[in-house]
């Protein structure tokens, strides 16, 4: 994935505003699974953790210190940061229990995460063309109940995805179906690398776009400026969860 990651995966301003609203009041921030640095705010001390050497090399904000490390073993002393965040990375962690314990250890106030809710309904791409992706994601993403069991009180809000979303994750092109036919777009969406055969789904999508079937089936969706595609913005107050 990493070779062309900065082409398709970058900060979307509307999504950024939703995330940064949850980081207000932070004096220091740890970005876990930081990738190339999207959504890292300015105006505070920020540190990043990223396990992939290739991703570290692609980071475009060189002013922020980066550690090549995993969420399960954060290279920091206790209570180093007021806030921690992670953006669409929890499904890549090998042991979420260890990672959650580490987040509690190094963070004093708040943990903010963007994830996808496995109990949500599929959007048109995974409903009509790639149900295998939907089934894979349901099995690898943490359920909200897992977060509640670990942290206690979890605030959950819908992460609204704009029609012109600049950050090319799975649902980013919900109003631009032809984008999924682009190999570079798919290369920056991790779940596409996990499915055995994507040719049938792509052929069906291409045929439906050309025939007008896709537009007819999704005519109501095309009137929308934003959608709820199952992505959630999680906010956890750690001061209360550490007693659980």
Q: What is the CATH number of the domain that holds 143?
A: 3.40.50.150
Question: How many CA atoms does the CB half-sphere of 104 hold within 13 Å?
Answer: 17
Q: Are 167 and 13 in contact (CB under 8 A)?
A: no
Q: What pLDDT, on a 0 to 100 scale, did the predictor assign at position 6?
A: 47
> What secondary structure does DSSP assign to 4-67, as a single string?
GHHHH----HHHHHHHHHTTTT-SEEEEET-TT-TTPPSSSEEEEE-S-HHHHHH-S-TTS-EE
- pLDDT tens-place string over residues 66-104: 999 999 999 999 999 999 999 999 999 999 999 999 999
What is the rounded CA–CA span in Å between residue 155 and residue 61? 30
Both structure tokens of 196: 């055995």
> What range does the domain containing 19 cover?
2-239
Integer Rg of the chain from CA: 18
Nearest to 50 by CA among 73, 66, 29: 66
In order of 28, 59, 60, 113, the CA distances from 65 in angstroms are 13, 10, 12, 20
pLDDT digits (tens, 9 = 90+) for 6-58: 455 689 999 999 999 999 999 999 999 988 888 999 889 999 999 988 877 77
Task: Evaluate whether residue 25 is within a structural domain.
Answer: yes
**In terms of pTM, does the model score above 0.75?**
yes
Inside any domain, residue 244: no
Query: How many structural domains comprise the chain?
Result: 1
Give CA angle at 69 (98, 105), nearest 5°.
Answer: 40
User: What does the alpha-carbon distance between residue 119 and residue 130 come to, in Å, rounded to a whole number?
Assistant: 17
Q: Is residue 169 part of a domain?
A: yes
């Amino acid at each position: 994935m990493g070779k062309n990651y900065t082409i398709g995966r970058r900060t979307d301003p509307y999504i950024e505003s939703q995330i940064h609203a949850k980081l207000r009041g932070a004096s220091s921030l740890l970005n876990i699974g930081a990738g190339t640095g999207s959504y890292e705010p300015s105006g505070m001390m920020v540190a990043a953790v990223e396990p992939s050497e290739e991703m570290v090399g692609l980071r475009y904000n060189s002013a922020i210190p980066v550690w090549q490390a995993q969420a399960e073993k954060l290279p920091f002393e206790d209570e180093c940061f007021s806030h921690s965040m992670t953006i669409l990375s929890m499904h890549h962690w090998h042991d979420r229990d260890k990672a959650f314990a580490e987040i509690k250890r190094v963070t004093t106030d708040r943990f903010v995460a963007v994830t996808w809710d496995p109990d949500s309904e599929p959007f048109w791409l995974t409903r009509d063309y790639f149900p295998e992706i939907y089934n894979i994601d349901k099995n690898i993403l943490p359920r909200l109940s897992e977060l509640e069991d670990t942290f206690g009180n979890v605030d959950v809000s819908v992460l609204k995805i704009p029609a012109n979303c600049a950050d090319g994750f799975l649902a980013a092109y919900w109003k631009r179906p032809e984008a999924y036919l682009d190999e570079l777009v798919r290369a920056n969406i991790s779940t596409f690398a996990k499915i055995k055969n994507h040719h049938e789904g792509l052929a069906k999508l291409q045929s439906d776009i050309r025939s007008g079937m896709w537009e007819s089936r999704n005519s109501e969706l095309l009137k929308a400026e934003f959608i709820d595609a199952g992505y959630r913005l999680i906010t956890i107050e750690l001061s209360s969860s550490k007693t659980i």
